Amino acid sequence: MAQTDKEVFKYGVFTKNRVETFSDGIFAIIVTLLILEVKVPHIENADSSIVLMQSLTGLFPKFISWVISFLTICIVWVNHHRIFELFRGFNIVLFWLNVQVLLWVCFIPFPTALVGDYPNNPLAVAIYGVVMALTGASLVAVRFYGLMNKDILEPGISEKTYKKAIVFSFLFGTIFYLTGAALAWVNTLLSFAVYFLITIYFIFSFKFQAHREKK
């Protein structure tokens, strides 16, 4: 039987649908803003294909960082959506935990632009990894709050599977990104490889996970 408004709202003044709509709007804006950092190059000889090709080749790092960030934000959105399905409603604490997720998502365009401009700079590449790690950690914090406050979760949630999801989120969404950030001081290409592999892992893992927190 569907929950009544009274049952849903008892967790706070925030309705689940409204918070989700607000969050989706933020994700849509940020994923659109990313491409604005990839600007059309200006060349003196507008008719020269060779010069234009050289300028476009120089944009390759920006394209790479844009693709990785675009896919990563989409992955965060999918995880965010799955987490929303686990909660019956939103109280003030959960609302602000959700806000801190959006805070890091909104910040992603900066390290994306930074690493696109300085792809060989260890600091720039490491900053990208740290920001992504903090974004992943913010989602882990939301999940962990649900674990500590089980009354806010939907009925029928498997605690064992829920805990596994927290561990895997922390491992692949935080630890691996920090590893990639550390590798920037060895070779920036290794960092890019780690960031890309994390993205690939999450894309293909969605096919097999199919949201198994529920029994």
The DSSP result for 16-64, as a single string, is HHHHHHHHHHHHHHHHHHGGGGSPPP--S-TT-HHHHHHHHHHTHHHHH
- pLDDT tens per residue, range 133-182: 999 999 999 999 988 888 888 888 888 888 888 888 899 889 999 999 99
* pLDDT at residue 1 greater than cutoff 50: no
Q: How far apart are CA 119 and CA 110, in angstroms?
A: 14
Report if residue 53 sits inside a domain: yes
Our CA angle for 13, 15, 21, nearest 5°, is 135
Q: How far apart are CA 137 and CA 105, in angstroms?
A: 12
Predicted structure pTM score: 0.84
Query: Between the CA of residue 68 and those of 82, 115, 200, what are the distances in Å?
Result: 21, 11, 10
Report if residue 71 sits inside a domain: yes
Report if residue 4 sits inside a domain: no
Q: How far apart are CA 96 and CA 116, in angstroms?
A: 31
Q: Determine if residue 211 is left, alpha or beta; phi over 0 gives left, psi from -120 to 50 gives alpha, anything else beta.
A: left
Contact 131, 104 (CB under 8 A): yes
**pLDDT category, 12, cuts 50, 70, 90?**
low
Report if residue 163 sits inside a domain: yes
Report if residue 101 sits inside a domain: yes
Report if residue 165 sits inside a domain: yes
Report if residue 118 sits inside a domain: yes
| Domain span holding position 155 | 10-209
pLDDT for position 207: 53
Q: How far apart are CA 154 and CA 85, in angstroms?
A: 8
Total of domains in the chain: 1
**pLDDT category, 203, cuts 50, 70, 90?**
confident
Q: Which amino acid, 61?
A: P
Q: How far apart are CA 71 and CA 196, in angstroms?
A: 9
Mean pLDDT, residues 59-64: 86
- pLDDT tens per residue, range 114-135: 998 899 999 999 999 999 999 9
We report the CATH number of the domain holding residue 15 as 1.20.1410
Q: How high does pLDDT run on average in the chain?
A: 84
* Most confident residue range from 5-9, 52-56, 79-83, 203-207: 79-83
Report if residue 127 sits inside a domain: yes
